[in-house]
Amino acid sequence: MIPLTATYRLQLREGVTFATAQDFLPHLTANGISHLYLSPIFRAQAGSTHGYDVIDPNAIEADLGGEAGFATLAQAARDAGIGIILDIVPNHTAFSLENPWLRDVLRHGTDSAFAPHFDIDWSERLLLPFLTDTFDALVAQGGVHVERAADGPVLCIGDLAVPINPATATIEDLSALHDAQVWRLTPWQRERDSITHRRFFNVTGLIGMRVEEQAVFDDMHRKTLDLIASGQVQGLRLDHIDGLADPDGYLTRLKAAVGDTPIWVEKILTGDEALPDWGIAGTTGYEAARQIARLLTDGDGHAKLLAAWQAQTGRSGSFHDALIDAKHEVIRQDLAAELQQMIGLADDAAAAAGDEQGQEALREAVLALLSAFPSYRTYMCGKDVRAADLSLMTRVADTAAQRLRSDHVVRLLTACMADPQTPAAHRLQVRFQQVTGALLAKSHEDTAGFRWNAYIAANEVGADPDDVTIADAAMNGWLADRLPTALTLTSSHDTKRSEDARMRLVACSHLPDDLTALVAGTADLPGAKAVSVNTRWYLVQSALAIWGDEPATLDDRLRDHMTKALREAKRVTNWTHPDEDAEAVVLDFVAPVTAHWHATDPAALHRLMDLGAQLSLIQTAVKLTMTGVPDIYRGCLSAHFALTDPDNRRPVDPAVLQTAVDAGGLTGDKARLSRDLLALRHADPDFFHAAACAVARDATGTLTLTRTTADRTLTIRCDPAATPPVTIDDAPPFSETA
């Protein structure tokens, strides 16, 4: 088995194939990387940019190079001494007419062999929200007809070709034919209010899979297990573990199937939440990114920024208050269908308990419980309930009850979930735990995180803008509890900013007057009066985060990002009903801001960038030496500035990356520091697996991180005011200054 020292994450698709990945191998070997970590490789929808919309989990994507291409990559990696980690998607597949299993279900309904595979509510016909108008209106317009596809008859509407039951194909009346199917076509706008399949967050185009069933598990993992058994794959990363009905049971089954192959889960830990004892290698590491950013944030400077932002915007309260407001909006809008399902399940559970309640009381109780839930989910499974989960549910019920005139219904539903006595109560338990994560993700990361713009360095996946710093003792306690095999990421395909962009923003907490000066400098620019102060704070920080690109490219990237930020914030526009006029006011303001900076070359901008570079090197040193396994996102061994996707998925050139160690500035400094620290890990993985880890800061702001065993101490000293900011003292057997 290849010793695990560091992983390197590649996003496949959009021109990145298995052959491209092979071109990265020299870059990995030169830097002591032990494992190549690939985004999903299985067949996805046509035109997929990410691969998480899988349509066949047992076929390797032909556009990436197919089975032969992957085998060639696996052999080349093995020859280079590098293992491969696969990102797999057990939670969902594409809710698409390209999905062959789903096509069979659409044609044969519950008689299909694949009907048990999908998480579908068959109490009514399966809703397909694919239309631009009502079905009857489209029939009246002459836009509906029957044809024959390779797999049988289909009902055609424009580009849609929906499989129909062969026994109904002779029905001439189109409305009657439609009524005879197990599915019902509806306008796409219907998806917000009513769906009949479990989806991924609010993405109706993805359908939940019932991997808790052995047959479904087998069908979903057949090819993955073959790749492990053949020695082509050495590790697994599991996407969205919190979407599953029973994560613990799933992991037990998967561990039995893969033996000692390491497993990491995409699990977002919030606050002081601990990973359940699942016997796996650990998480993918978002909590590590948060802790490093907290360690490097100046609390006094952040307080100054927050006060200035609140004074200028008129905002008050806390991020938590903004999050609660966002939760109430998201559950009533983006997740309205899930809310209706939850109310129905609550009604069934209450009735089964002999305590029937009115719909409005149930609605209020469900809303209160969902909005009060502070983390992604609990892991209750029937009557198997951990003490920590029971305690959390009790606290949630107490908080929810304070917001209602009567706490009876909240207590009733909580009791049903914590100790389910009926099948109805168990169904409520399962679905509640699946919805809480979707609600928190959409409310925190994708709504409130684009509204609370005082210090967007803290607006990250799993982070808390109300808790932006950490004391040494707390950090050391967290490090002591951390699994040595847990991944440590600072950038990923899902982070809101890349690691170096984030450190420029962290620099704002050290130099708060410089950020407020940059914001103030935009107040009199053309178009400023039409842009809210809060949006100007966000735009200035976003421009700072990626400043240095070619002017035209920079403006395009900022405009694209601001469109996404405005729609995620959902104040003046959104994804479902975009207000392009409102968006244009902000997008037209990008050019005046960047032109002003090009013309005036603000000293504040340079100070923030310079300090950000120093902090980036310190972040690199902490990440590569602390407890855990460093995970490097492609391009991030040297300087890499990006905003959230799709900006952080732009292609990088492996040939350029290999020459980074010879470059000047942050690019070269970071590349050389990364190479040297990864060489230490590569030379002695056992030391980094076993060594105790601790941090300490002195009055001057110097941070010292030590890794210690009985016969070796590695000391990393980090001083943002020094040149270089990082020094390495390894006694014995190595001593070097980076």
Q: With beta carbons less than 8 A apart as the criterion, state whether 129 and 95 touch.
A: no
Identify which of 522, 544, 517 has the alpha carbon closest to the alpha carbon of residue 609. Answer: 544
Mean pLDDT in residue range 286-296 = 98
**Cα 328 to the center of its chain, rounded Å:** 21
CA distance 103 to 105: 5
**Could you tell me where the DSSP H helices lie in 31-173?**
66-79, 100-108, 135-140
HSE of 394, CA atoms in CB hemisphere, 13 A: 8
CA distance 381 to 375: 17
pLDDT at 738: 40
Identify which of 386, 431, 358 has the alpha carbon closest to the alpha carbon of residue 275. Answer: 386
Q: With beta carbons less than 8 A apart as the criterion, state whether 67 and 60 touch.
A: yes
CA distance 37 to 235: 8
CA distance 403 to 364: 9
Q: Is a pLDDT exceeding 80 seen at residue 192? A: no
Identify which of 522, 343, 518 has the alpha carbon closest to the alpha carbon of residue 435. Answer: 343
- pLDDT band of 403, cuts 50, 70, 90: confident
Q: Sign of the CA dihedral 325, 331, 336, 342?
A: negative
Calculate helix-pair angle for 319-332, 423-440, nearest 10 degrees: 120
CA distance 300 to 317: 18
Question: What is the location of CATH 3.30.1590.10 in the chain?
Answer: 100-207
Q: Is a pLDDT exceeding 90 seen at residue 435? A: yes
Calculate helix-pair angle for 359-372, 408-418, nearest 10 degrees: 70
Structure tokens of 515?
């950020």
Phi-psi region of 66 (alpha: psi -120 to 50; beta: other; left: phi over 0): left
pLDDT at 733: 53
pLDDT tens digits for range 81-113: 999 999 999 999 999 999 999 999 999 999 999
User: Which residues, in sequence order, are bridge partners of residue 544?
Assistant: none
**Which fold, 7-90+211-266?**
TIM Barrel (3.20.20)
- Backbone angles phi and psi of 609, in degrees to 5: -65, -40
CA distance 216 to 452: 42
CA distance 463 to 452: 13
Question: What is the model's pTM?
Answer: 0.96
pLDDT tens digits for range 548-585: 999 999 999 999 999 999 999 999 999 999 999 999 99
What integer best gives the mean pLDDT of the chain?
96
Tell me whether residue 521 is exposed, middle or buried, using C-beta atoms within 10 angstroms of its C-beta: 0 to 12, 13 to 18, 19 or more.
middle
pLDDT at 233: 98
Kindly report each contact of residues 45-48 with a partner whose C-beta sits within 8 Å and lies 24 or more positions away, as own/partner. Answer: 45/94, 45/96, 45/98, 46/98, 48/13
CA 230 to each of CA 64, 100, 277, 284, 646: distance values in angstroms, whole numbers, following the listed order: 20, 26, 29, 25, 34
Residue where the block lists tokens 């390491």: 262
Q: Sign of the CA dihedral 590, 594, 597, 600?
A: negative
Mean pLDDT in residue range 608-616 = 98
The SS3 call for residue 5 is coil
DSSP state of 7: E
DSSP state of 442: I
Identify which of 200, 179, 221, 166 has the alpha carbon closest to the alpha carbon of residue 96. Answer: 200
CA distance 633 to 243: 24
CA 404 to each of CA 54, 279, 360: distance values in angstroms, whole numbers, following the listed order: 42, 40, 12
DSSP H or E segment with residue 276: none
The SS3 call for residue 574 is coil
Q: Is a pLDDT exceeding 90 seen at residue 194? A: no
Q: Sign of the CA dihedral 543, 547, 553, 555?
A: positive
CA distance 411 to 346: 12
- pLDDT band of 1, cuts 50, 70, 90: confident
CA distance 328 to 334: 10
pLDDT at 385: 95
**Cα 485 to the center of its chain, rounded Å:** 20
Tell me whether residue 607 is exposed, middle or buried, using C-beta atoms within 10 angstroms of its C-beta: 0 to 12, 13 to 18, 19 or more.
middle
pLDDT tens digits for range 51-69: 999 999 999 999 999 999 9
Residue where the block lists tokens 């935009």: 522
pLDDT at 211: 98
pLDDT at 193: 76
pLDDT at 406: 83
SS3 annotation, 578-589: CCHHHHHHHHHH
**Cα 65 to the center of its chain, rounded Å:** 26
Question: What is the location of CATH 3.20.20.80 in the chain?
Answer: 7-90+211-266
SS3 annotation, 521-559: CCCCCCCHHHCCHHHHHHHHHHHHHHCCCCHHHHHHHHH
Structure tokens of 477?
């306690």
Percentage with pLDDT > 70 across the chain: 99
The SS3 call for residue 185 is strand
Buried residues in 184-222 as b, exposed as e (16+ CB within 10 A) = bbbeeebbbeebbbbbbbbbbebbbbbbbeeebbebbbe
Tell me whether residue 59 is exposed, middle or buried, using C-beta atoms within 10 angstroms of its C-beta: 0 to 12, 13 to 18, 19 or more.
middle
Residue 658's CB is within 10 A of a number of other CB atoms, namely 17
First to last CA, the chain: 31
pLDDT tens digits for range 447-502: 999 999 999 999 999 999 999 999 999 999 999 999 999 999 999 999 999 999 99
- pLDDT band of 736, cuts 50, 70, 90: very low
Structure tokens of 269?
């830990």
Q: With beta carbons less than 8 A apart as the criterion, state whether 476 and 694 touch.
A: yes
Structure tokens of 504?
């420029």
Q: Is a pLDDT exceeding 50 seen at residue 734? A: no
CA distance 642 to 644: 7
CA distance 244 to 250: 8
**Which fold, 100-207?**
Maltooligosyl trehalose synthase, domain 2 (3.30.1590)
Q: With beta carbons less than 8 A apart as the criterion, state whether 82 and 25 touch.
A: yes
HSE of 511, CA atoms in CB hemisphere, 13 A: 22
Q: Is a pLDDT exceeding 90 seen at residue 405? A: no
- Backbone angles phi and psi of 605, in degrees to 5: -60, -45
Q: Identity (one letter) of the amino acid at 48? A: S
Task: Kindly give, in sequence order, each residue whose CB lies less than 8 Å from that of residue 326, ignoring residues fewer than 6 positions away.
Answer: 443, 444, 447, 448, 451
Q: With beta carbons less than 8 A apart as the criterion, state whether 627 and 533 touch.
A: no
Q: Identity (one letter) of the amino acid at 347? A: D
- pLDDT band of 715, cuts 50, 70, 90: very high
Longest CA–CA span in the chain (Å) reads 84
Task: Kindly give, in sequence order, each residue whose CB lies less than 8 Å from that of residue 627, ignoring residues fewer than 6 positions away.
Answer: 479, 482, 484, 486, 693
Q: Is a pLDDT exceeding 80 seen at residue 287? A: yes
Identify which of 422, 436, 435, 371 has the alpha carbon closest to the alpha carbon of residue 399. Answer: 371
Residue where the block lists tokens 């509906």: 144
